[in-house]
Amino acid sequence: MKKNKGFDSTIEKMARSTASKTGRRGFIGKLGGFIVGAGLLPLLPVDRRGRMKEANATTTGTMDRGGFQPQDQDTQACDYWRHCSIDGNLCDCCGGTLTSCPPGTELSPSSWVASCYNPGDQQTYLIAYRDCCGKQTCGRCNCLNTEGELPVYRPEFSNDIVWCFGADNDAMTYHCTISPVVGKAS
Amino acid sequence: MTIKFNDGKTGYPKQIKRLAASMAMTAMFVGGTQAVIAGGVPQQLGSEATLDLMDTPVILDAPPSDAKRVYVLDAGAFHMTSTYYTIDGNNNKLLGMTDAGKLPHMMLGDNGNFMAIASTMYSRVARGTRDDYIEIIDSRTHKPIADIDIPEGRFLTQVMQRMASLSADDKHILFQQFSPSPAVGLVDLEKESFVKMMPMPDCYHLFPVPDQKFFMHCRDGSLLEVSYDNEGNTQQKNTKVFHGEEDYLFNNPSYSIKTGRLIWPSTGGRIFQAKLSASGAEFIEPFDAFTEEQKADKWAPGGWQPVSFHNDRNEIYLLADQREKWTHKLTSRFVFVIDATTGKQLRRIDMGHEINGIGVSQDAEPYLFASSPGDQSLYTFDAITGKQLGQIDELGRAPVMIYLPE
């Protein structure tokens, strides 16, 4: 109870101090200025080179014989941790996102799966690699990762299959792949 | 597509019949006219466009296929169309090309005198109506000599050589279906017609042997022995399990239809072998391709088409490099030549390039052919000395698979 009383007392002092130094009109005027200023911000010249970099992104983080080295920052790089067993184009580079398909494609309800290690929280997750189908191969951010990838006679873990089974319109044509999480791997 | 004519005894009113006949005539007339226009030289062109020539251009035929005839497939990265490059491996000369659809399968028949190509196309590039078919292509003229419609059931994967196959006597073609249920399609090549989808258990790859039989590889590590009649009725039985659950076998083994010899490495470098025949499967004791020291130095096979076998020399050619685990589909720079009986390493070829697929010719002075998707090239090596003999570049987007006549 003593602690709570102390906290209440501190907050009350701060509120009274602020009120004694700030008039209502002054406060409303500053708030209005902030709102108008915020509205004008998009019109000001802004360095958008970061966005240009994204638009011109090339395939990065490609795996070599040294094995998969996951990172948890750049979802458009092949070495992003969720992509540990992806073989194909990242939808994130093709008009989609890490977990959504690009416009005009069909999402497959079936996929191969793999367990991927997230270095950010040091946990391992089960990833379901769902293909987005019904259009020509995207071609951008083409990644070949094979962490835990198995031969075609173990198809649930094979990334060499066109995983468009069950997509609308019988679209058995591969466009790109998303990497949604199923859950923590046990 | 099949066009059926009826006998004219249907019960439609005469006016409708006349209208239909009139529309058909109009369609034929318009279609015929368009065909003439589309196929001719535009009338508005001046005479310069059709001048007589001092030279005499002709359309060439490729020379007859021999042991060093090489076909290289560029299927892109799951693209809608593919290209087979026909190459004279004796001198690295490109002889011609053959178009194919999405993730096609090539089968070389009659000692390389024809190629059968199973393809998939869509009516609107990547959508619309799916059409699966098999073209038989003359390997000299490169023109189709047969076109066979099949059900839309080809198993679409990154190209695996043994997902479709000619039978041992070239009379049938077998192709694998995965969805909606496992099956093998049977095509009668003499009648140029599809016969039946033959239901199968959860097994993959097709290894034909004589007497209308073939083997498949099943999930549990056994082979499935299948015999079939001309109507597609089958008898099936499993062999023993010949590899462990954690011996992950590559997707592209080496198999000779002529000899029935199957060479199948695991990603860990263990070599499994079998001699397949109409009387059954004879498994050969597996061995490790690499010594304990080499394994400690991380030598392991890797690539998409990582193994080839020279029948007469009894030599296994294994694509390998030093690598971490789970990098089994990445390129390699070396080929280890191994005696298939003793398992002894005979020589090591340092190719000096990032290679994804290999194939060795079956003649007495064999060449080793190696594909590099990154370089868009096919490299040629003397298979005995390891010396590089040639390179042919600009082979499409990502050439991988190599096909050689037996």
A160 assigned binding-site residue: yes
Query: Worst-scoring range by mean pLDDT, B30-44, B128-142, B272-286?
Result: B30-44
Mutate: best of A85, A136, A150, A169, partner B, most B CBs <10 A: A136
Decide if A174 contacts A133 (C-beta within 8 A): yes
CATH number of B244-406: 2.130.10.10
Of the residues A121, A131, A163, A170, which is catalytic? A131
The torsion defined by the Cα of A124, A125, A126 and A131, in degrees rounded to 10, comes to -120
Cβ contact B251–A151 (<8 Å): yes
- Residue by residue, what is the 3-state secondary structure of chain B? CCCCCCCCCCCCCHHHHHHHHHHHHHHHHHHHHHHHHHHCCCCCCCHHHHCCCCCCCCCCCCCCCCCCEEEEEECCCCCCCEEEEEEECCCCEEEEEEEECCCCEEEEEHHHCEEEEEEEEEEECCEEEEEEEEEEEECCCCCEEEEEEECCCECCECCCHHHEEECCCCCEEEEEECCCCCEEEEEECCCCEEEEEEECCCEEEEEEECCCEEEEEECCCEEEEEEECCCCCEEEEEEEECCCCCCCECCCCEECCCCCEEEEEECCCEEEEEEEECCEEEEEEEEECCCHHHHHCCEEECCCECEEEECCCCEEEEEEEECCCCCCCCCEEEEEEEECCCCCEEEEEEEEEEECEEEECCCCCCEEEEEECCCCEEEEEECCCCCEEEEECCCCCCEEEEECCC
Residue B81 pLDDT > 90, yes or no? yes
Nearest CA in chain A to B329: A146
Name the minimum distance, in Å, from the CA of B306 to any CA of chain A: 14
Q: Rounded to the nearest 5 degrees, what angle is found at the Cα of A140, between the Cα atoms of A139 and A142?
A: 80
Q: Where do we find the tokens 């790109």?
A: A176
Cβ contact A87–B158 (<8 Å): yes
Name the minimum distance, in Å, from the CA of B143 to any CA of chain A: 27
Q: What is the pLDDT of residue A17?
A: 53
Binning pLDDT at 50, 70 and 90, where does residue B38 land? low
Mutate: best of A85, A91, A135, A162, partner B, most B CBs <10 A: A162
Report the C-alpha gap between B257 and B249 in whole angstroms.
20
Nearest CA in chain B to A164: B156
Token pair of B156, please? 């679409």
Cβ contact B327–A67 (<8 Å): yes
Report the C-alpha gap between B205 and B217 in whole angstroms.
6
Name the minimum distance, in Å, from the CA of B298 to any CA of chain A: 10
Binning pLDDT at 50, 70 and 90, where does residue A169 land? confident
A87 assigned binding-site residue: yes
Q: What is the pLDDT of residue A45?
A: 41
Nearest CA in chain A to B154: A172
Catalytic (active site) residue A81: no
Report the C-alpha gap between A135 and A99 in whole angstroms.
18
Q: What is the pLDDT of residue A151?
A: 98
A121 assigned binding-site residue: no
Name the minimum distance, in Å, from the CA of B76 to any CA of chain A: 9
Report the C-alpha gap between B16 and B13 in whole angstroms.
5
Binning pLDDT at 50, 70 and 90, where does residue A3 land? very low
Query: Worst-scoring range by mean pLDDT, A166-170, B297-301, B343-347?
Result: A166-170
A74 assigned binding-site residue: no
Better pLDDT: B172 or B2: B172
Q: What is the pLDDT of residue B39?
A: 73
Q: What is the pLDDT of residue B10?
A: 37
Cβ contact A161–B156 (<8 Å): yes
Q: Where are the domains of chain B?
A: 244-406
Residue A46 pLDDT > 60, yes or no? no
Select from B377, B318, B328, B376 the least CA-distant residue to B349: B318
Decide if B206 contacts B216 (C-beta within 8 A): yes
Nearest CA in chain B to A145: B327
Cβ contact A65–B77 (<8 Å): no
Mutate: best of B326, B355, B356, B401, partner A, most A CBs <10 A: B326
How would DSSP label each residue in A68-134?
---BSS-TTSTTBGGGTT-EEEBGGGTTS-SSSPPTT-EEEEEEEEEEEEETTTTEEEEEEEEEEES
- Residue A65: which of B157, B250, B323 has the nearest Cβ? B323
Residue length of chain A: 186
For residues B383-387, average pLDDT: 98
Catalytic (active site) residue A131: yes
Q: What is the pLDDT of residue A43?
A: 42
Q: What pLDDT, in 10s, does the model give residues B39-75?
A: 789 999 999 999 999 999 999 999 999 999 999 999 9
Q: What is the pLDDT of residue A137?
A: 97
Query: To the nearest whole number, what is the mean pLDDT of chain B?
Result: 92
Show residues of chain A in contact with B125, CB under 8 Å.
Answer: 136
Report the C-alpha gap between B275 and B294 in whole angstroms.
28
Q: What is the pLDDT of residue B32?
A: 46
**A84-103 burial by CB neighbour count: b if 16+ within 10 A, else e?**
bbbbbbbbbbbbbebebbbe
What value of ipTM does the predicted structure carry?
0.89
Cβ contact A65–B251 (<8 Å): no
Residue B33 pLDDT > 50, yes or no? no
Q: What is the pLDDT of residue A10?
A: 54
Show residues of chain B in contact with A170, CB under 8 Å.
Answer: 130
Q: What pLDDT, in 10s, does the model give residues B277-298?
A: 999 999 999 999 999 999 999 9
Report the C-alpha gap between B74 and A27 in whole angstroms.
69
- Residue A162: which of B78, B127, B328 has the nearest Cβ? B78
Of the residues A79, A81, A92, A112, which is catalytic? A112
Q: What domains can you pick out in chain A, each with its CATH number?
A: 2-43 (no CATH), 52-184 (2.60.30.10)
Cβ contact B77–A146 (<8 Å): no
For residues B117-126, average pLDDT: 97
Q: What pLDDT, in 10s, does the model give residues B185-223?
A: 999 999 999 999 999 999 999 999 999 999 999 999 999
Residue B87 pLDDT > 70, yes or no? yes
Which residues, in sequence order, are bridge partners of residue B127?
B124
Report the C-alpha gap between B358 and B309 in whole angstroms.
10
Show residues of chain A in contact with B325, CB under 8 Å.
Answer: 67
- Residue B102: which of A67, A152, A173 has the nearest Cβ? A173
Residue B302 pLDDT > 80, yes or no? yes
Query: To the nearest whole number, what is the mean pLDDT of chain A?
Result: 82
For residues B249-266, average pLDDT: 98
Name the minimum distance, in Å, from the CA of B343 to any CA of chain A: 24
Which residues, in sequence order, are bridge partners of residue B99?
B83
- Residue B80: which of A136, A149, A151 has the nearest Cβ? A136
Phi, psi dihedral angles at A51 (to 5 degrees): -70, -35
- Residue A25: CB atoms within 10 A of its CB come to 8
Share of chain B above pLDDT 70, in %: 91
